[in-house]
Each structure stands twice: as C-alpha cells, then as structure tokens.
Chains A and B, each alone.
Chain A
C-alpha cells in the first residue's frame, strides 16, 4: 500500500542551533507545513532529541500544561506539554527529573513583537539511557557538521543572507562536544579494563592466600 500522507522526518540538532532560530519558512498554501529555519539552514518541523529532563513544572496549578527543560551538551531545549499531546502528557506524569529521556517533538517558533522563541511540543517522551544519548550526540554532531559544510560551499543563499551565521563558532562548539564525548568514552573503556584488572588481581591473590588462614569445615 502506498500512503500519500507525508510524514515529516525528525531532524537532529543541538539546542544551540535550535535556540538561535529566528525565522519560519513554508506554510504557504493550506497543506504546506511550517518549518523553523535554523541559522545552519535546517528546516525543521519535527525533531528527535535525547537529553536530560532537568525541569518539569506545571505552568499554572491544575492547568495540566507543563513546562519542561531538556539539556543537551550545548544548552537546553524549552518545551511545553499539554492535553493536546496526550501520549506525552501520560508518560511525563511518570518521569521525574533528572532523567535521561528521548523526545519526538514538533518544532515551534513563538513570535511576539520583535522577539521569537523557539520551543518544542513533544509528541512522545520516554525514559532512555546513556548509551542512546551518546549515540544521539554523535549522530547530531555529524548532521551539524554536514550543514556547516554545505553553508561553506555557499549552497544556501537564503540562510546566509538572513542569519550570516558564524560557522566557525558552531564548528568549534560541535568539536568541543565531540572531544568531551571522546574523553567520557575513554574513561568508560578504562573503567571496564580496570575491572578486568581487578578480577585478575583477585584470582592471583587467591592463589597466594594461605588456605590455613580460613577456618574450613566445622
């Protein structure tokens, strides 16, 4: 069966890029979706994020509208969950910060006066784990570097004109994140090696232990 409804791909991006977004594109004609245009040229309508849920707060008592903050290595995403996202609302009830979560969300840009505020409308939130988070960081770093490269080739005139983004700044931020991840990963590998050492040490010790030190039998 061929489904004709178009489903938007969930984009991977860091909070730094998302939070620097000031413009929307699309929305022309009834059917066309609205996209948040980021300074690195990403057009996003849906995003996928794995990070730490740091805050969860009811906007007004009994409003069932929750403000959440989810961090990634570059900062944090602001999100709102209400009864219009029943699945996310349900699962959020059981999650208490701090907790690693994965989130699929609609990307929105609130515009008031001269200011624009990028925020997330989660469709679902789920408890995740460190391994998934690390892979998300890697995947997102790769996608971000790809966008930087495309802009350096001058391929996206609209973005270059609208934002004139500081590409070096973004590249440095991504490299910092990757170096941090490398450091953490190296520690994890060392720890598992250390554990092997310990095991080995214990076995050796056992051999030298004089069994007469133990009271064996009754």
Chain B
C-alpha cells in the first residue's frame, strides 16, 4: 500500500477520535499490525480499529461523525460535514478527478473536488447535498473540499440560499455563443425590464428606453462564464455604440440587424476580460480582443514538450 494512502487512513481515524485523546501513533501501530502482519483488507482493518477504539473509549456510533460546519468556518486539514448547494460544475483537468466546481452555503463558497476513486454518484448543478466526512485542503489560498472514498454524499430536500460573493478576475476565453435578449433592446421606463413590442410584463404598454447589451458565453476550454457586455464594452470591441446601433436599425428598418452585426464581429473571437465574477456571471469592466505573443508562447510549450 502506498504510504500516503496509509497515512490517509490514519488521519481519517485520528480525526474521529482525537477529541477523546487517541494518538496517531496508537492508530498507526494497530493499522500496521492488521494490514502488514495479518494482511487484512483495508476496509476491514479500518472498521476493526474504529470498532475497537469505540469500545475502549465507550463512544456511541452517532457521536463519530465530524461536526456540521459552515463554509466560512472550514479550515485546512480538518475533517468536517457540510450542507451545501452545488453552484457550478467545472471541467476536471485530470481523469483522477470525477467532478470539480463550486459549492456554497449561507456563509460563503468553496471549491470542491470529488476524486474518481471515491466512486460517488454524480452531483448536479443547483441541487443541495449533505457532505459527510469530507476533508478540507488549501490550494493557492483557496479552500477546497475533497470528497474521498471515506466521505458520504446525500442529496437533501432543502434549499440552501447561497451567500453571493464577488471576485475581481481576469479571464481569457473564446466567445462561443450569444444569447437571446442581446443587441439593441428596449427597456421599461418604470422598472428597467427588457420589453418586447413596448409591453412590460409588469406595467403593460409603457414608454421605453433604448439599451445596448449582449449576453454571451465565454469558454476557456475548462470553464464557462456568462458574460454580460454593456454599451461601452460593445462599443470598445465592435465600434457600435448606442448611436451607431440606432442608425443601423433605422437604415435597415430592423433592430435585429444590430445583433447580427455584433455576432459577426464577436462570435468565435478570443477576449480578455477584466471584471467581476459572481458564481459564473462575469460583468466586464474592461474587455479587449486577446492578442497574445504567440511566438513566445509556442517556444515555451515546445521547450516543455520536448523536455
């Protein structure tokens, strides 16, 4: 057995019993005995040690689960249980990872990783789960919740309101889709909602303002962002501002032409966006076409590949 696997089992048992004064050493020597001398299967050895310790220290089974913790309070190297909502799934960049993404509760958000070896049912975006016996670690200053084979994950029938957190980010990705409700639109003068044919769902027939906005999907090959471009962003990229958009629409007697023009200029292009990320909604402060130094990058990748 690999050394780190051995240590992981020791750690898992230790976390359960440390509040009762059990030492790692005690666990290690029992585990060694069972695994290496008696060649007992891993799961059996674990169960035996846990049962033995429970008997010795007179602990009820129900007391053994790690405490239910809020995300704002999790700390690296601790085993905990959490109730959280899966906010977003990202693309795992290693086959050792079954799923990865972002979870959240009323107190905040954290990354999570489900190891492929954990062999768990797949989590779904938007659903809430009880994560039992998960271990916390830290990667580049971000707390991350690991679901291992020791963990249990159950879907729960309650809705967790996630505390929204904003982050300043810089993202490079391809703009791969532009969604409905983009282009030269009309908004209700009373509530600001986008209206169709001058009719607001709340206020009926209303006076409107022209607005220029684009909702699109930025995709970096591993993660997706819902990107919202405002009038300034659109103008910076395409040269089409509100004034130009109105003129286009008048010339063609069709507001749809604005969206077509924007699509022609933006779809399939790489953008660099500096902005505010909330879950996966990215609001651009600054946006530009991405112009990397390709030769430098190519040489770097070649050096790595040939090494």
Contacts and interface: CB of A to CB of B under 8 A. Distances in A.
Interface of A: 1-7, 9-12, 32, 41, 48, 50, 91, 101-104, 123-124, 126-128, 131-132, 134-136, 138-139, 141-143, 145-146, 150, 155-156, 159, 171, 174-175, 178-179, 181-182, 185-186, 189
A11 to B, nearest CB: 6
Interface of B: 85, 87, 89-91, 93-96, 122, 124-127, 162, 174, 176-177, 217, 219, 221-224, 226, 263-264, 267-270, 279-281, 290-292, 294-295, 297-299, 301-302, 304-306
A104 B176 contact: yes
A175 B87 CA distance: 38
21 contacts: A3-B280, A4-B124, A10-B219, A32-B122, A102-B174, A102-B268, A103-B268, A126-B268, A127-B264, A128-B268, A132-B269, A135-B290, A145-B301, A150-B94, A155-B96, A174-B305, A175-B302, A181-B298, A182-B295, A182-B299, A182-B302
Contacts of A139: 221
Given A103-B268, A127-B264, A135-B290, A48 B176 contact: yes
Contacts of A186: 295
A185 B298 contact: yes
Nearest to A104: B176
Contacts of B298: 138, 178, 181-182, 185
B223 A9 contact: yes
Contact of B124 (A6, A11, A135, A174): A6
Nearest to A131: B291
A139 B298 CA distance: 10
Contacts of A179: 302
Q: Which 7 A-B pairs have the closest CB atoms?
A: A102-B268, A4-B126, A156-B95, A185-B295, A126-B267, A155-B95, A104-B176
Given A103-B268, A126-B263, A9 B224 contact: yes
A161 B87 CA distance: 34
A193 B211 CA distance: 45
Contacts of B299: 182
Contacts of B280: 3
Contacts of A4: 124-127
A103 B221 CA distance: 14
